[in-house]
A and B are shown apart, each in its own frame.
Chain A
């Protein structure tokens, strides 16, 4: 019987059973399945994969990402998506099919430095990832605080069927957008809730592979510890959020 979950480093043999190799593993000699990264190996049903603990975000088609506009040409924007490739957002995606490079000015829609929730529409080895914002819930992010976590910890932040993120959202009454590239945007009307939500996200990031994490996060959210310090921090956060709106 194979161990279902364990810590692995590159070159560690996970199993030699009849499993299908998935992410971050490689087949050696047609039999042995070997990890290629530092992480936690998982044998689930008939598949084997490794959840990485380090490394950059690799775009995947249909991933929701939070990008930052780096620059724009007359035809497209380039987004920093926290990866080794830049996200390519064509102007037609925003202006529609009747886009004209002469008539439409791209800076009216998205400026350099803007945060954008986008979806990876197409990505292969030959070109940079093509992203789109023409879908529900996508587009420019107007409000909220950005928290960056390791891309490998994103599944943990979401939790099984979204349990973790639901716990945080309901407890703090906030709206959280999670990009698969490790960028998380937290929007909350209540300054204290915002602070708590951010703290919870950072906690998941730093304790990603401890057991019973959802319970621990719940406990932290309910306890409301560090109350005297929170009052001072709250004012600072409120001020900054007002600055953002200007």
Chain B
């Protein structure tokens, strides 16, 4: 993409990646619960150079009415990238890619959210990508899950997202933009840590069965790290300080 080095060494002889990480290391992740006053629940995530805000409304009345379901609540997800989130201006109209990501995030959250408790209602999740650097769908999924918990919507489990992939014939954890563009495979995953269930799994590239197994193992490992930060972000907002609103609600990991 715009102005990146064409011949980049994705993995050197010491097993160090282009951004200085080891093969099984995630980028720096920071999650903050809350922050938006008008949304029922919200979260902000920094996943390496990705910066994403998620806002949640609901459960609330469904509009248009014909979308409502008498048996269960429904979940609507909008993933959107800001025009300034990438190198060259992105048309703000929803693209094919954004519609797809909205769909997969919705389907990754659905097994966790207990929508059947609120028939005839909707839970709206809005995700805005402020800055993108590869792996936005996993970061967006993680943020959306924290925002849902912040809104007090009953969930069977949190959903954490992290990608695994392959560059230079080596399986790596948390694929960044360069590795995504020039690498051999990218496999975003969503995972429910307590239920031990995978809710999102996509694969772009070619992996052998052994590599695939290793990717799943790496992906789950990354998701567990993100999960710890999700937990921390929520406890910082709700349980720190005497009034429960103390603390900055920030949690970081390097």
Contacts and interface: CB of A to CB of B under 8 A. Distances in A.
Contact of A208 (B41, B193, B244): B244
A147 interface: no
A11 B155 contact: yes
Contact of B156 (A7, A10, A84, A125): A10
Nearest to A84: B59
Contacts of A26: 114, 156
Given A26-B156, A52-B152, A56-B40, A209 B244 contact: yes
A contact face: mostly helix, strand, loop, or mixed: loop
A12 B41 CA distance: 19
A117 B60 CA distance: 23
Interface stretch (A34-42, A162-170, A193-201, A238-246): A34-42
A36 B156 contact: yes
B243 A207 contact: yes
A38 B152 contact: yes
Contacts of A55: 151-154
Nearest to B71: A125
B40 A7 contact: no
Interface residues on chain B, size class: 35 or more
B243 A36 contact: no
A61 interface: no
A76 interface: no
A175 interface: no
Nearest to A150: B152
Contacts of A56: 40, 59, 152
A54 B153 CA distance: 8
Contacts, number: 93
Nearest to A40: B239
Contacts of B61: 84
A84 B151 contact: no
B227 to A, nearest CB: 8
B154 A37 contact: yes
A28 interface: yes
A5 to B, nearest CB: 12
B70 interface: yes
A217 to B, nearest CB: 13
A5 B149 CA distance: 20
A122 interface: no
Contacts of B244: 53, 206-210
A221 interface: no
Contact of A206 (B112, B239, B243): B243
Contacts of B180: none
Nearest to A26: B156
Nearest to B242: A210
B129 to A, nearest CB: 24
7 contacts: A10-B155, A11-B156, A37-B152, A54-B151, A54-B238, A84-B61, A207-B243
Interface of B: 40-41, 58-61, 70, 112, 114, 117-121, 149-158, 192-195, 230-231, 234-235, 238-239, 242-245
Given A24-B154, A206-B245, 11 more contacts: A9-B238, A32-B194, A34-B156, A34-B157, A34-B194, A36-B155, A53-B152, A53-B244, A84-B58, A84-B118, A85-B121
